[in-house]
Structure 1
Amino acid sequence: MKINIQTHHVSIGDDSREEIESKFEKIAAHFPQLISSDIIIRKEHDQHEVEIFTNYEGVRVSAKATHDIMYPAIAASLKKLEAGLRTRKGQLKSDIHS
C-alpha cells in the first residue's frame, strides 16, 4: 500500500515515517483492497491534528483525531479509520446477502 504523508508546521523523521508505515501494514493486512492512503499531520495551537483519507471499494473513508502529542493523535486516527473501514466492509457484506 502506498502511503503519502504530508506535514504542516511540524516535521517528522525517518523513524516516525517507518513507524506510521508499520501501523498501516496491519490495516493493509485486514483490508487488502486498499491501494493508497493520504495522511496529513498538522500542528495548530499546540494541538496535533491527524487526518487520514483512503478509498475502499469506491467510497472515500476518512478519519481525524486531535491530541497534544503527535503519536497518540496518529494512533487515535488509525483506530477511527479502522472502525470506518470495518463499517464499510460490513455494509458491503450486507448488500451481498440482501
Structure 2
Amino acid sequence: MKINLSGHHVEVTETVKLHVEEKFAKIASHFPSLISLDVTVTKERGEYEVEVRTNYEGVSVAAKGADPVMWPAIAAAKKKLDAALKHRKGQLKADLHSKPDVTAPEIAYEKVQEMNLEK
C-alpha cells in the first residue's frame, strides 16, 4: 500500500514518515484491497490535525484525528479510519446475505377471489 504523506505548516521528516507507515501497516494487512492512503498533517492554532483519505471498494473513506501533540493525532486518525473501513466491510458483507422474501400481494388477491364473500 502506498502512503502519500503531506504537511501543511508542518515539516514532514523521516521520523514522521516512519511513524505513519508503522501505524497504518496493520490496516494494510487487514484490508489488502487498499491501494493508497492520502495522509495530511496540519498544524493550526497549536493543534495538529491528521486527515486520512482512501478509496475502499468504490467508496471514498475519510477520517480525522486532532490533538495538541502530533503522535496521538496520528493514532486517533488511524483508529477512526480502521473503524470506518470495518463499517464499510460489514455493509458489503451484509449485502451478500439473502434477504427474506415478502409475501407477494397477488397471492393475497387470489385468496380473496376464492372466498365466497356474497351472502
TM-score range, shorter chain: over 0.9
Give the secondary-structure state (helix, strand or coil) at the position aligned to 1:49: strand
1:1-98 matches, cutoff 5 A: 1-98=1-98
Task: Tell me the number of residue pairs that the alignment of Structure 1 and Structure 2 aligns.
Answer: 98
Root-mean-square deviation (CA), in Å? 0.8
**Seq. identity, %:** 55
Matches of 1:32 and 1:82, distance apart in 2? 13
- Where structure 1 has 5 or more consecutive residues not aligned to the other structure, the ranges are none
Greater relative contact order (Cα 8 A, min sep 6): structure 1 or 2?
Answer: 1
Q: Which digits, 9 at most, give the CA deviation of each residue in 1:32-54, with x for residues without a partner?
A: 01000000100000000110000
Query: If the length of structure 1 is used for normalisation, what is the TM-score?
Result: 0.96
**Residue by residue, what CA displacement relative to the aligned partner does 1:29-79 show, whole Å, maximum 9, x if unpaired?**
000010000001000000001100000000000001111000000000000
Structure 2 unmatched ranges of 5 or more: 99-119
TM norm structure 2: 0.80
Contact 2:6–2:12, Cα closer than 8 Å, also in 1 = no
Q: Which has the higher strand share?
A: 1
